[in-house]
Each structure stands twice: as structure tokens, then as C-alpha cells.
Amino acid sequence: MAQLDVQPKRRRSVWIWLIFFVLAIGVAVLLYRGCNRSAPLKIDSTDTVAKDSSKIDTNVIVTTQPDWNAIDFNIPKVKYDEVTDTAIIVRGTDKYTIYSMGENILFPPDESTLQPSAESKLKQVAASLEKRYKKAAIAIYGHTDSVGSESDNHALGTSRANAVKDWLLTEGGIEAGNLSVHSLGEKQPIASNKTKSGRAQNRSVEIVAFTEGPRE
């Protein structure tokens, strides 16, 4: 009978230790995961970003990036004394100025190569930009009418805007970092595309100078 009393106690003792061992492993796993989640991120002092951040010039002024998709091309006209050519329409607000020139002023029909007579117009625009917006961000927009496919009109608008951009870079003295090109194609017409005169108004290139300060 003595052996019968001892055997169950040994089995019970083994099971208790086994359960304790499993629980201990579970607690250890939970503690390990918790430590990993709360551990702070360590940054190597030799990291490139850390090195560069110590060299930041506190005198650098950060300017606001213009929202080129929010330009209103129907803002009121303004008068600049240096722009005497009536073929150049100037519109402006306190945030940006638009120099607008018709497609027939700058390009032959359905082409994207500047014609010789365009140079005098672009010189006046470049002089005005130099006077009033020397450090401004400048965008060139290409507009077309709705005749033809939308993709063809977008491509034509891009080509014409790029032609004006190239002239401003090589002849107008505008810095490349200040210039960007945007083609609206047949989108955002300023007149009806149902009439000949309306379509003529919609074919244009517009140079937009952006500034958050008041114009001179």
C-alpha cells in the first residue's frame, strides 16, 4: 500500500513543474516583446543624416512652394510701364502676375518654333521679370483650343511652353531653377471654343511669376 501512496504524488509533482515551466516561458516571451516595443530608436552618431543636419544654415529662408494648379487666368489686367507692346496682356494679383501672349504672336499656325517677331515681345517680358520678379518662381503654361485630340493639344501646349522656356534661359537671363513648364492643352479655356475668335483667344502661352509679397 505504501508504494501506491507515493506514486501519485510524484506524477502530480511532475505535472506541476511542467505547468510552471510553460507559464515561465510565456511570461518571458511577453516581457521580451514588451521591451522591444518600448525600446527607444538608437541613431548611430556616424549616420549621414545626423552629420548633415549639423551643417544646416540657419540663415536660409524657406519659401512656400507655389500651387501652380490654382492659377486663375482671368484675374484683372494691370499696367506695367515697362511693357509697352499691346500684344502682351498683363494680369496680376498680390500673389502672382501673368504675362499672356497669343499663339499667333509667338508661333506660326500649328507649330512650336518661335517666329522671329516673337523675340521683341519676349524681351519685354524678360525685362519686366528682371525688374519685378528677379528671384521669383516662374511657370510657363501652354494653352490650345479644343480642335483635334486632347493628347495632341496637350503635346502642342508642352512644346510651345518649352520653346518659351528655352528662350528665357538662353536669351532672357532667367535662372533654370526658377522655371517650370505646364501644359493645360485645351483645358481651362478663357473663351468659347465654339467660335473662331474664341478659339484664337484660347491658343496662347502665359508666363506666370509667383510672389507672396506685393508687386512693385
Phi, psi of 171 (to 5 degrees): -115, -25
Helix (H, G, I), strand (E, B) or coil at 122: helix
Q: What strand order describes the sheet that includes 88-92?
A: 88-92, 96-102, 204-210, 137-143, 179-185
Neighbour tally for 161: CB within 10 Å: 24
The pTM (predicted TM-score) of the whole model is 0.64
CA nearest 122: which of 181, 162, 165? 165
Q: Coil, strand or helix: which one is 90?
A: strand
Q: What is the mean pLDDT of residues 25-48?
A: 53
pLDDT tier for residue 65 given thresholds of 50, 70 and 90: low
User: In the predicted model, is pLDDT for residue 38 greater than 80?
Assistant: no
| Superfamily the domain 68-210 falls into | OmpA-like domain (3.30.1330.60)
For the chain, domain boundaries? 68-210
Task: Find the mean pLDDT for residues 64-68.
Answer: 68
Q: Is the pLDDT of residue 100 over 90?
A: yes
